[in-house]
Amino acid sequence: MKRIIALALASFIAAPALADHHEVPQDTVDKITAMLTEMNCQMDPDDIEMEDDGYDLDDVICEGGNQFDIKLDKDLKEVSRRAE
């Protein structure tokens, strides 16, 4: 039982360190935010997720109230857009 508790505690402590591995750099967040502003869109920067092949933007709200999930490649070029 002590071993299970120790493993659970170790994974709880390590989780934030693992989450930082995919933290989006602030300069990239700024570029994405500027790009969305030009598109008349906005989103919570906390909803930008780094993926192996680029970035996933969740809950992007655009002019007219339309909401999308947008995927960008590593060069911040839009590769897909899905309406929600």
| 10, part of any domain | no
Into how many domains does the chain fold?
Answer: 1
What pLDDT is attached to residue 22?
A: 65
* Residue 15 banded pLDDT, cuts 50, 70, 90: very low
Does residue 75 carry a pLDDT above 80?
yes
Q: What is the pLDDT of residues 23-48, one digit of tens each?
A: 899 999 999 999 999 999 999 999 99
Q: What is the pLDDT of residues 51-73, one digit of tens each?
A: 999 999 999 999 999 999 999 99
- Give me the domain span that covers residue 60: 24-83
Q: What is the pTM of this model?
A: 0.72
| 73, part of any domain | yes
Q: Which of 60, 65, 61 is nearest to 49 (CA)?
A: 60
Does residue 9 carry a pLDDT above 60?
no
